[in-house]
Structure 1
Amino acid sequence: MKPAPKSETELLNRALDISGISLRELADELSIAVPQDLRRDKGWVGQIIEKHLGAQAGSRPEQDFAELGIELKTIPVSHSGKPLETTFVSVAPLVGIHGLTWENSHVRHKLSKVLWIPVEGEREIPLAERRVGAPLLWTPSQREEDMLRADWEEIMEHIALGNVSAISARMGQVMQLRPKAANNRARTRAYGTSGRTIQALPRGFYLRTQFTAEILANHFI
């Protein structure tokens, strides 16, 4: 694993260096075996790219390149460059949210500056043969941040009112709330409609594919 990059330029140069490289080549450099598929190794692609770029956060709730204020997001794309799945942002707080605003939210912090790394994701391409695309360093425009804020505030209002179980994936224009757990038995504390805490499935914020597709299209087209 490489040491953390000391500057934004160094990080971008590392990302450009792996652009066009197959996942097998990246794994071989680190003496890591490539899994047959991602069914049991969903985070494998992101982890191997983290190692090559020198991301240090791991599972800690901070940006991947905290010293640079940059979050890393790998994104599987189709032959035409369209995202193939939603993008996880962060776990949603379901209790202890008094005084929480968009400005001091974990979601805004994570999305303040993102290094997007597209990776071929079509299922017919064997995992080892999938290639890494050109990087994109993105900061939300005012319009994009306004949309993210509106969705976050709507979702958090429902959480604060104890309506977490009524929040569906259809809510939100560019960002949605979905269960985020290893299985359906996982539980965490949340507010109920009475104001008392209840047990609920952990939830996470995800960016919709239409939103990430627009981000990629604005940069690459």
Structure 2
Amino acid sequence: MKKSLSSPNSIDELMQRAESMAGLTLGQLADYHEIEMPNDLKRHKGWVGQLIELELGALAGSKPEQDFVHLGIELKTIPVSRRGKVLETTYVTVAPLTNIQGLTWENSVVCHKLQRVLWIPVQGDREIPLSERQIGSPILWQPSLEERELLRQDWEEIMELIAMGQVDKVTARHGEVLQLRPKAANSQVVTDSIGRDGQLTQTNPRGFYLKTQFTQRILSQLL
């Protein structure tokens, strides 16, 4: 495998790299980096994102900070259909289920990561072989005041339920633009969370995700 490219020094340099990648297939990019392609994404869910990170020189990996922290930009690949329809929700970060006293929207990882996002659309139709799926044009997005307010409201409502020991009552239907969902390889994985009596209990890890209608709106506005 080729080494990842150095991280870009400016937003212009990052955008140039992202734009020069547009139109390539995943197979072409994998060949360039001498990476073996999986047959499908069933057991390699994060593979596309990792390939794009490698090409663009992202630094964060799984750390709770932006992928290009020195530029204040988070990188998100997003699968879309041939017609530009967003095909799945977008993972943002693991949700904190303990030690949340005093945590505010402004100092949350969700707020920090979504301050500015570089979206890379990638064809995600299942009938297109993985190697033939094309990378789309990059979109650099900053939430508007209205979008920021919607995110904040959803985050605060969800975190209030977590603080009250009601995490198991939060479903994917909660939230207008942001949702909370289990985030683990299987249901046997558990972590500490706040129980109804304020004592620690065990539950499945959760993650914050952006709903598809929200990301669809972002892409439709900017494409």
After TM superposition, is the score higher than 0.5?
A: yes
Deviation at 1:82, TM superposition (A): 1.2
Match of 1:102 among 95, 105, 108: 105
Q: How far apart, in 2, do the equivalents of 1:32 and 1:125 lie?
A: 19
2:119 aligns to what?
116
1:28 aligns to what?
31
**In structure 1, the residue corresponding to 2:202 is in which secondary structure?**
strand
Q: How far apart, in 2, do the equivalents of 1:170 and 1:116 lie?
A: 24
2:221 aligns to what?
218
Structure 2: stretches of 5+ with no match in the other structure: none
- Any idea what the Cα deviations from partners look like across 1:157-188, whole Å, max 9, x if unmatched? 00000000111111000110000011111111
1:163 aligns to what?
166
1:203 equivalent in alignment to 2:206: yes
**Range with greater deviation from structure 2 (125-134 or 182-191):** 182-191
Q: How far apart, in 1, do the equivalents of 2:192 and 2:151 lie?
A: 25
1:19 aligns to what?
22
Q: Which amino acid aligns with 1:100?
A: L
Sequence identity of aligned pairs in percent?
Answer: 60
Q: How far apart, in 2, do the equivalents of 1:72 and 1:85 lie?
A: 16
Q: How does 1:146-161 map to 2 (within 5 A)?
A: 146-161=149-164
Q: How far apart, in 2, do the equivalents of 1:199 and 1:168 lie?
A: 17
Structure 1: stretches of 5+ with no match in the other structure: none
Match of 2:178 among 160, 175, 178: 175
Q: How many residues align?
A: 220
* TM-score, structure 2 normalization: 0.98
CA RMSD of aligned residues (A): 0.5
* TM-score, structure 1 normalization: 0.99
2:140 aligns to what?
137
**In structure 2, the residue corresponding to 1:178 is in which secondary structure?**
strand
Deviation at 1:10, TM superposition (A): 0.3
